[in-house]
Each structure stands twice: as structure tokens, then as C-alpha cells.
Amino acid sequence: MRASRGDVRPRAVPPLLAALVGAAMAAAVSACSAAAPEPSAAATAAPPGLAAERFPKPERPVAGIVSDQWSSEDGRERAGEAAKVMELLGVRPGMAVADIGAGAGYYVGRLSRRVGSTGRVFGQDVERKYLEGLRRRVARERLGNVELVLGEPHDPRLPPRSVDLALLVHMYHEIAQPFGLLHNLAPAMRPGGRVAILDVDGPIQGHGTPRALLVCELAAVGYRQTDWHWIEGRSVYLAVFEPPAEPPEPERIAPCGGKR
């Protein structure tokens, strides 16, 4: 006859067995941690660039940051957006790519797998809460080549000469201090590096950036346009620029208020 639950008394676990079980559990936890390393929240990844107050403010509206993603990932995946962009930009194994304004990380994971173990991806954002969500995604997907960077509206805070390609996807119109960000981004670019901007050719209030305005603002900081692709008809573009070796002094940067 079986004893009832009330009659069962827990047996004492021998000390040696308890120690072995504890060690095994600790080793398992350590192994899991090693398999999915936490990306660094690189607030110290780079020293600050030039101060925000040195740069002129844009003479045009700035769209508010309303979400950590442009649209649903399923919809973007069906449209083949990331694959198309990475193909046009020649993203390949070993490259160091910065996703500026990474948000929920739609591009971070795809870039991570594309550049491989010999490459590096910086997932950068100015919103700490977005980086916390991205940190969880990076750990969940075990993206060991990703480093998270908390930037500022005028300064991406990326390490000097660390980036082959900087990618700004559907967020240029949300940059409150574009001249400061572009100026402080230039030292992070490696020789031959490129800055690519994906956006809608439309009004800023509608979460787009008119082509003339984009080209004018980047030229004001010394960036030279090298390529232009239409991604969806003639509404969404991928603009590619070469960063300046020496950007102009902030006092010499002229805003582009009339290029809307």
C-alpha cells in the first residue's frame, strides 16, 4: 500500500551529492552564458565628439520618434527589404556595419548573420528603452558579433575608424541634430567607408526626407553622394555617401531650410 503525500518525508541529500549537483548547475549556467554573450551597452565605446551647442539646428521640421520599428517585420521580410538593401550595398562577411537608429533590431540580426563571425555590427540608438529590447533580442538570437551603443542626438558615439558601412533606415527625418550627428559620425568611418540612408522621398511631417533636403544637409557637412537607388518605385530611396576625411568646422555649416 502506497503512503499518502502526508506520510512522505523528504530524504536528506548527502553533502557530496549536493555539491556535485550544485557544480553541475553552475557549469550549465556558465555554458549558456558563454553561448549567448551579452552585448556591451557601449556607452563608453567612444569618447564624446564635438558638443551639440556648436552645431546649427536644422531649419526644417523634425519628425518625432513614435516607434522602435518602421513597420511589421513580416511585411518587410515579404517585400525582401533587408536582402535588397544589403545586396545593393555589397554587405559581405568580415565587414563592420553600424545600424544607426537600430530600434527593435530588424536589420541588426540580418546584418549580423550576413557579416558572419569575422564581422561586427553596432546596434546604435538614442533611446535606452529600445536598446534594452534589442539587448534581449541579441541574447535570444545569440548574435555574438553585435555590440550595442547608446548614442546622443548629435553624436553616434561610435569608436574611431571602426565602421565600413553606416546604415540609417527610415530614421533620418527623426534626427534632431543632423549636422552634429553627421560631423561626429565621420571620424568613426574607416577609409573607403560609406554612409547609406534609406528613406521615403516625401515630407518630413509624413516621416520622409525630400531628396533635395537630404543631399543638401549631407553636402553641408562635407559628404559626397556616390550612388542612388530607388527601392520601391520612386517613393523609397537608398542614398549612398562618402564621408569627409575632415568635416568642416561647425560654424561653417549652413542649414538647408529652403530644400524641403
For the segment 134-143, the average pLDDT, to the nearest whole number, is 96
Taking the C-alpha atoms of residue 246 and residue 181, their distance in angstroms, rounded to an integer, is: 14
CA distances from 119 to 134, 165, 214, 238 (A): 19, 12, 29, 23
Give Cβ neighbours of residue 135 (< 8 Å, ≥ 6 apart): 38, 39, 41, 148
Residues 143-155 have a mean pLDDT of 97
How confident is the model at residue 73, as a pLDDT? Answer: 62
Q: Which helix (H) or strand (E) holds 125?
A: strand 120-125
Burial class of residue 21 in the structure, from the number of CB atoms within 10 Å of its CB (0-12 exposed, 13-18 middle, 19+ buried) = exposed
% of the chain at pLDDT higher than 70: 76
Of 5-14, 86-95, 161-170, the range with the lowest mean pLDDT is 5-14
Which of 100, 99, 101, 103 lies closest to 111 in space, CA to CA?
Answer: 99
For residues 123 and 57, is the Cβ–Cβ distance under 8 A? no
What is the pTM (predicted TM-score) of this model?
0.81
Q: What are the pLDDT digits (tens) for 119-129?
A: 999 999 999 99
Please report the domains of the chain, with CATH numbers, ordered by start residue: 39-252 (3.40.50.150)
Question: What mean pLDDT do residues 151-166 have?
Answer: 97
